Amino acid sequence: MSQGAVEDPSIQLDEFFTEFRAGSLRLRNRFAMAPMTRMQSPGGVPNAENIEYYRAHAAGGAGLLITEGTYVRGPAAGPEAAVPRFYDDDSAAGWRAVVEAVHAEGAAIVPQLWHTGVTRGDSPKFEPEVASVSPSGVDHNGQQVGQSLTTRDLDTLVESYVESASLAKHIGFDGLELHGAHGYLLDEFFWAATNHRQDEYGGTLRRRAGFPARVVAAVREAAGPDFTIIYRYSQWKGADYTARVAETPAELEELLTPLVEAGVDIFHTSLRRHWQPEFTEHADDMSLAGWTKKITGLPVITVGSVGVDSVFHGNRIDETQAQRFQVLQEQFERGEFDIVALGRALLADPEWVNKVHDGRLSEITPFR
């Protein structure tokens, strides 16, 4: 963040330092640490370095910490052995220590449960003997990668998510997040490019949302009515920043309604630029976060280049940070979102939230 970037007296972020509650989630403010893959857990087990990483960000003032993506038990959850897992006793012990450290600093924390699907590729380092799986066994270009998920595979996957969700509640997490964005497994059911299925999980948007909704419903049943379920989704994919699943508000409603009915409490809309309108042909210029909240009526987390000078995996941003903080403030006041997540800004400076709160803006370490 540039020196003095939000020292404009017209920018008031006081509203972001109010409490937020939803189910089991109790937050001291509206700032969250976004999930960021680190691959710093040898053997998939959180270690002392991981514990300190999360503790430091909790001490830095964020109200909510969303962990890096953590693998559910297979089949073929991901390619990297140093990504933390969310099953088995050793990983559970490591995560319990993380939770205790974060809670001691006054923050809440949820794990992000992750299956990478076809993006795992043909040459994974983790479980290389197991073929990658996805809705139709093809990547976004229609190329064969691994194999299609069978009915039995789908049953196993649901059990895997339930296992991890139950563990999250047992360990003492404040809720959980399901990673359904960026072209990973659950998102591959949404996206027509990767979902060519002819069964009940293929075809219309509502049918393509069927398996993710089934996962949500199973997690809800296992975790109980009050354990907060966050669902992260996106239009863009890691392999295609221009990808779109829903072209209109009506299509977005068709996609999200099954997830709401299944038991999602909060949506986490993954954006690269939080200030950009989602449906440019529509008179209402809300962001995807704003449309999500309008359609579902549920709380929403927004994210996307907050507190940094360049867009994720892109060029420098034309708008100044002061301009974007003004837009962020206006979006919040209009009720487009409830929580704002930061990624790179917190990687550069874990104390970012405390420094903003205290007015020590010139002390913020910028992300480079």
Neighbours of 346 (CB within 10 A): 26
Say which amino acid occupies 252: L
Residue 156 phi/psi, 5° resolution?
Answer: -65, -40
C-alpha distance from residue 39 to each of 80, 307, 334 (Å): 7, 24, 38
Rounded-to-integer distance, Cα 116 and Cα 181, Å: 10
Burial class (CB in 10 A: 0-12, 13-18, 19+), 7: exposed
Rounded-to-integer distance, Cα 306 and Cα 220, Å: 31
Please, which contacts does 245-253 make with residues 24 or more away whose CB atoms are closer than 8 Å? 245/190, 245/191, 245/192, 245/205, 246/205, 247/279, 248/279, 248/282, 249/279, 249/282, 249/291, 249/294, 249/295, 251/205, 252/291, 252/292, 252/295, 253/295
Give me the active site residues, please: 184
* Token pair listed for 329: 């403030």
* Token pair listed for 28: 């001291």
Please, which contacts does 153-156 make with residues 24 or more away whose CB atoms are closer than 8 Å? 153/75, 154/201, 154/211, 154/214, 156/74, 156/75
Rounded-to-integer distance, Cα 255 and Cα 344, Å: 29
* Token pair listed for 48: 């002392």
How far is residue 361 CA from its own chain's centroid? 27
Contact 174, 20 (CB under 8 A): no
Residue 51 DSSP SS3: helix
